[in-house]
Amino acid sequence: MRTWMAVALLTLAAGLSACGGSTDGPVAGGGPVATTTSTAPTTTPGRGGRASRAREAAQSCAALGISQPPYNEGACTQDGVRFVVANGRSLLSLRTLSLALQGFSVTEELRRAGQRATPQGVYILVSVKVRNLTSAVQHVAVGQTLLTMNEQEFVEAEAAERIHPGALAFAQRATIGPGEVVTGVVIFDIPLSEIERVTRDGVLLVANFGADREAARRGSGPSQIGQIRIGVP
């Protein structure tokens, strides 16, 4: 499940995961931000090729101050992948879903109906609200989110999510109808020593429903990636 995130991390490097800086850039909320998928610059010679490369450069994450200071919110294109970046207080809007952070908590164990899950470090439970922006029934799948802290990445703790009654990927496999909203948690197993860094460097990466999610599973990389900076209010 983690291979699709390698595309994002290699493409944008560690800069896009940085949490400091201003939020004076365009806010990534209020409806889908990226409605089209940009492609890599064409290599066709001549005026058209130069214009295409110029447009790509103008929309790049660095040019818009998203992957480097002042670390704005907004949408940008890097190597043909559309990144949509928001801070913790903002609504992250992708093509098929919107996501809002509700907070997070930490626990050393989860129990339910005789079942028990213990982490290698501690479990961090990230509470989110997800809205289905499509006209079809959807569900949140395991592997649709990933927690990163600069160059570190943490996949969902599936054993814990199977036990937690509010885990989005396992809560009775609940479906989300068109326009409907669900609230639940995604759970990650992180070292105890890294808890403080979550509040400073933590970024939740999110894949779309549908085609992008399937591309993530195949490891080919989604065409649009959402990132919400946990530590920036």
d(CA 210, CA 142): 13
Predicted TM-score of the model (pTM):
0.76
pLDDT of residue 217: 57
Peptide bond into 70 cis (omega under 30): yes
pLDDT of residue 166: 93
State the burial class of residue 5 (Cβ atoms within 10 Å of its Cβ: 0-12, 13-18, 19+).
Answer: buried
* Number of domains the chain is built from: 1
Rounded to a whole number, what is the distance in angstroms from the first to the last CA of the chain?
29
pLDDT of residue 138: 93
d(CA 218, CA 222): 10
Q: List the chain pLDDT tens, one digit each, 233 residues.
A: 444 444 454 344 434 444 333 333 333 333 322 222 222 322 334 555 666 666 666 678 888 999 888 889 999 988 778 899 999 999 999 999 999 999 999 999 999 888 899 999 999 999 999 999 999 999 999 889 999 997 889 999 999 999 999 999 987 678 899 999 999 999 999 999 999 999 889 999 999 997 665 665 555 566 889 999 998 77
pLDDT of residue 225: 92
Q: How far is CA 106 from CA 119, 156, 197, in A?
A: 11, 14, 13
Note down the domain range covering 158.
3-229
pLDDT of residue 1: 42
Are 133 and 95 in contact by the 8 Å Cβ rule? The answer is yes
pLDDT of residue 178: 96
Question: What CATH number does residue 124 fall under?
Answer: 2.60.40.1240
d(CA 200, CA 98): 23
pLDDT of residue 77: 86
d(CA 11, CA 210): 22
